[in-house]
Amino acid sequence: MATFTQKKRVSFAHDDPDLMKPSPDTIAEYEINSSQLLLFIKTAKEIEEEIDSAFEALKTCSNAWKPKRKMVDDYDEAINELVTQSKKMLLEAF
């Protein structure tokens, strides 16, 4: 009788199983034990477009954070005050 031995498998630490694998052209999602087996079939391009449109919807938020205008006005006032003080000093020097 011949005995069969299992092949030894080599694994490496931090090895990514998806390394150097091409992305699929079409993606099908299905649910086991349901009346409708296939939920959808989409191409990779359609899925990328959905992800991009969802990202754009997140980027164009109407109530996004905006810097306070008061800070800019304070800097302008400080610069104007420094300019007027330097003009006074120059006039007093001559």
pLDDT at 6 over 60: yes
**d(C-alpha 47, C-alpha 53), whole Å:** 10
In the block, tokens 């020097």 appear at 93
**d(C-alpha 42, C-alpha 28), whole Å:** 6
pLDDT at 49 over 70: yes
**d(C-alpha 72, C-alpha 74), whole Å:** 5
Backbone torsion region of residue 44, taken as left when φ is above 0, otherwise alpha when ψ lies between -120 and 50, otherwise beta: alpha
Average pLDDT over residues 48-73: 74
pLDDT at 87 over 80: yes
Average pLDDT over residues 8-36: 75
Strand-pairing partners, residue 27, are 42
**HSE toward the beta carbon, residue 67, CA cutoff 13 A:** 5
Average pLDDT over residues 35-45: 84
